[in-house]
């Protein structure tokens, strides 16, 4: 070897001996959080660096899959390699570095451009040769196949566990303790939330109440309308086990709510176009009151002249009224209807299969009860006979009416023909009551004219009215 070649060799050897290399460490799942697997990889990789005189720079993705999401440390390694901060990569095995062929191809392209060295504890891979790249690709394909086989096994085991009614493991569900037993006060909060949704209270209002009371999610975060919705539509609360959105078995844990209640709420919250919402309405008729000029929903605002709150059409800008008299008339109409016999029909379940048959029997029983008084007056029945017949008829009538009651809609619960206080109802429930009763339309009137009852047109929704 000539002196020139010897000098070049010494310079190359010096550069290689003091080369900075990126040591990449990764463990897919760290069950204990102690990073033991990563620690073992580190020891072996450091030993390799010491043997070759390399200076290690560590990049660690602990508890991180190579097939899902972004690996922050791996991305940092690529950026440093691109900038020339590191001249090589050391890894325990190729499957720690890549499990997706597309990532391997990108890395090989980078290694070729930057002339990166790649060393593994299980053996070096020379990516500058076709055989080295072939070996890496085969290794990557084997790793990909292993991931797919593992995924198939895990999915089958998960479905089998679901069909047996067993839980998921991991973080506990809201309303249950880690052993899947109902946990207070969360279980009671869930029951209350189901009832509130059916009575017209918004998800936003429920979330705001829980946040005010210091109730957090099981992840320790504040509630939003969306997260409340996710909890309420979970079949586990009705004692069912689901898998990938499909109910597959009765669960092994105690339900928090009834099947009927869960189905009613899930159906309501899964209605197309419904949104959980982030902002609560502040006015009674915002979005409910219709403009009589352009037929668009009206909004609330403030009068430029009197600073009074008003309803205003922000589509045509040609219709507005002070808020208080309009609200007052609507409330009067609602309370008047709910106190009348016509409101009884609101409690009838429209989905009852034999609805007509039950209604006919109800009418017949009422007629027979009235006839008892006539028969007694005419001496056809004595007092004991009337009492016995009345008890029998009233028992059957009670059974019929129980079947007719719509238990899935609690908007009107406690409001039909009772002396309830309108102001005691939550604004969301007040708005739900109005939406189910009628569509109010504010007719245009001359500027400056005081509000009159005939300025409000009402289209009643109950068929019986």
Whether 348 is covered by a domain: the verdict is: no
Residue 399 makes CB contacts below 8 A (sequence gap 6+) with none
Same domain, 307 and 451: yes
Q: What distance in Å separates the CA atoms of residue 383 and residue 285, rounded to the nearest whole number?
A: 54
105-144 per-position pLDDT tens digit:
888 888 888 888 888 887 766 665 666 666 666 665 666 6
- How many structural domains is the chain composed of? 4
Q: How far is CA 391 from CA 109, 189, 396, in A?
A: 89, 40, 9
Residue where a domain terminates, one of 120, 147, 174: 147
Same domain, 135 and 265: no
Cβ(131)–Cβ(122) below 8 Å: no
Whether 440 is covered by a domain: the verdict is: yes
Same domain, 218 and 310: no
Q: What is the CATH number of the domain that holds 202?
A: 3.90.1750.20
Q: What distance in Å separates the CA atoms of residue 449 and residue 201, rounded to the nearest whole number?
A: 36
Q: Which residues lie across from 26 on neighbouring strands?
A: 61
Q: What is the phi/psi pair of residue 24, to 5°?
A: -100, 125
Same domain, 47 and 117: yes
User: In the prediction, which pLDDT does 258 show?
Assistant: 86
pTM of this prediction?
Answer: 0.50
Same domain, 258 and 132: no
Domain range for residue 295?
290-339+415-460
Dihedral sign of CA atoms 291, 294, 297, 303 in order: negative
Cβ(48)–Cβ(119) below 8 Å: yes
Whether 92 is covered by a domain: the verdict is: yes
Comparing 10-19, 45-54, 104-113, the range with the smallest average pLDDT is: 10-19
Cβ(97)–Cβ(24) below 8 Å: yes
356-405 per-position pLDDT tens digit:
676 677 778 877 877 887 787 788 888 888 888 888 888 787 776 656 55
Q: Please check the confidence at residue 160 and state whether its pLDDT lies above 50.
A: yes
Same domain, 207 and 297: no
Q: DSSP secondary structure string, 379-401? A: TSS-HHHHHHHHHHHHHHHHHHH
Q: What distance in Å separates the CA atoms of residue 200 and residue 418, rounded to the nearest whole number?
A: 19
Dihedral sign of CA atoms 318, 324, 329, 334 in order: positive
Same domain, 395 and 422: no
């Amino acid at each position: 070897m000539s002196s020139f070649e010897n000098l070049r060799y010494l310079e190359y050897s010096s550069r290689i001996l003091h080369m900075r290399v990126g040591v990449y460490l990764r463990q897919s799942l760290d069950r204990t959080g102690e990073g033991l697997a990563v620690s073992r990889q580190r020891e072996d990789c450091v030993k390799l660096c010491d043997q070759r005189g390399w200076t290690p720079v560590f990049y660690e993705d602990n508890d991180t899959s190579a097939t899902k999401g972004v690996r922050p440390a791996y991305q940092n390694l690529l950026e440093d390699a691109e900038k020339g901060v590191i001249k090589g990569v050391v890894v325990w095995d190729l499957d720690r570095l890549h499990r997706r062929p597309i990532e391997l191809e990108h890395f090989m392209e980078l290694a070729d451009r930057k002339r990166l060295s790649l060393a593994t504890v299980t053996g070096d891979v020379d990516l500058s040769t076709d055989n080295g790249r072939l070996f890496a690709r085969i290794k990557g394909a084997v790793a990909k196949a292993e991931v797919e086989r593992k995924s198939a096994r895990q999915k089958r085991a998960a479905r089998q566990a679901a069909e047996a009614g067993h839980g998921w493991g991991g973080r506990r569900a809201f309303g249950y303790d880690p052993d899947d037993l109902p946990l207070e006060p969360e279980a009671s909060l869930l029951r209350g939330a189901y009832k509130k949704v059916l009575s017209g209270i918004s998800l936003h209002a429920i979330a705001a109440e829980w946040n005010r009371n210091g109730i957090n999610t099981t992840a320790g975060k504040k509630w939003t309308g969306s997260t409340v919705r996710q909890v309420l539509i979970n079949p586990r609360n009705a004692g069912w086990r689901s898998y990938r959105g499909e109910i597959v078995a009765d669960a092994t844990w105690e339900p928090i709510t009834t099947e009927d209640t869960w189905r009613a709420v899930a159906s309501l919250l899964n209605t197309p176009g419904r949104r959980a919402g982030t902002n609560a309405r502040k006015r009674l008729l915002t979005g409910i009151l219709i403009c009589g000029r352009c037929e668009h929903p009206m909004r609330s605002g403030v009068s430029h002249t009197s600073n009074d709150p008003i309803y205003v059409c922000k589509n045509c800008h040609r219709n507005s009224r002070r808020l208080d008299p309009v609200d007052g008339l609507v409330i009067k109409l609602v309370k008047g209807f709910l106190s009348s016999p016509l409101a009884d029909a609101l409690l009838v379940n429209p989905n009852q299969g034999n609805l007509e048959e039950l209604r006919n029997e109800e009418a017949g029983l009422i007629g027979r009860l009235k006839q008892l008084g006539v028969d007694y007056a005419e001496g056809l029945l004595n007092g004991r006979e009337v009492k016995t017949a009345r008890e029998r008829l009233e028992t059957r009538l009670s059974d019929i009416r129980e079947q007719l009651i719509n238990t899935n809609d609690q908007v009107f619960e406690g409001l039909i023909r009772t002396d309830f206080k309108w102001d005691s109802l939550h604004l969301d429930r007040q708005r739900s009551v109005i939406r189910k009763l009628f569509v109010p339309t504010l007719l245009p009137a001359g500027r400056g004219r005081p509000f009159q009852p005939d300025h409000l047109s009402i289209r009643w929704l109950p068929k019986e009215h």
